[in-house]
């Protein structure tokens, strides 16, 4: 069986052994969403087909939100992409996310946890700044009357962050 047929075979399986997952990673193009493997291992409670369908369209949803001036939605979806990448990173470093409490899976907690596994310091600092600015922006919008359109500059400033994190976590 050639590598293309083998990849198709592995894609069609409901669950992969550890050895099959390693093979799948080698055969799958770098940066592919498929490298997540078993969604339940990173904290998803829904079925694979529904989750992966939504995940495949998230980039389109982010762009649609930006084009529609729904900046908080765009920021939230971008946050989810980063969150998934961090969970994947931790899972690939042997962290059993299924045993974590919900509070340990919150974004801020994930940022603390990745430090223990030699996550790139510069990229982690960008993530910490992103999270702080995201929280401040939303709080300032609600409590201090900051102009909603000011979120657009935050979106532009963090435009490549999710891609950078995804590439780092799936290398």
Query: 52 is written with which tokens?
Result: 């992966």
DSSP conformation letters of 88-111? HHHHHTT--GGGS-GGGGSHHHHH
Q: How confident is the model at residue 156 (pLDDT cuts 50, 70, 90)?
A: very high
Q: Could you tell me which of 35, 7, 10 has the C-alpha nearest to residue 166?
A: 35
* pLDDT at res. 33: 47
Give the containing element (helix H, strand E) for 12: helix 3-12
Give tens-digit pLDDT for 36-83. 555 566 666 555 566 667 777 888 888 999 999 999 999 999 999 899
Write down the pLDDT at residue 72.
92
pLDDT in tens, 88-120: 888 888 888 888 888 899 999 999 999 999 999
- Sign, CA torsion 92/118/87/36: negative
Mean pLDDT (whole number) for 18-33: 64
Torsion of CA 114, 100, 97, 42, to 10 degrees: -100
Q: Which residue, 124, 102, 123, 122, is CA-closest to 113?
A: 124
pLDDT at residue 143 is higher than 80:
yes
| Percentage, residues of the chain above pLDDT 70 | 77
How much helix, strand and coil, in percent to the nearest 5, is found in the chain?
75, 0, 25
Say what the pTM is. Answer: 0.75
**pLDDT exceeding 90 applies to what percent of the chain?**
36
């Amino acid at each position: 069986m050639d590598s293309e047929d083998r990849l198709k075979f592995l894609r069609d399986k409901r669950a992969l052994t550890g050895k099959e997952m390693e093979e799948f990673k080698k055969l799958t193009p770098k940066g592919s969403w498929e490298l997540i493997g078993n969604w339940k291992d990173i904290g998803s409670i829904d079925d694979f087909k529904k989750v992966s369908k939504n995940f495949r369209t998230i980039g389109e949803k982010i762009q649609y939100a930006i084009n529609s001036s729904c900046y908080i939605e765009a920021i939230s979806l971008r946050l989810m992409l980063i969150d998934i990448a961090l969970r994947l990173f931790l899972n690939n470093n042997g962290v059993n996310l299924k045993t974590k409490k919900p509070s340990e899976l919150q974004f801020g907690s994930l940022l603390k946890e990745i430090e223990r596994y030699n996550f790139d310091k510069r990229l982690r600092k960008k993530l910490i700044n992103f999270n702080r600015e995201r929280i401040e922006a939303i709080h300032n919008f609600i409590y201090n009357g900051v102009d909603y359109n000011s979120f657009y500059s935050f979106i532009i400033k963090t435009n490549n962050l999710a891609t950078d994190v995804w590439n780092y976590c799936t290398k």
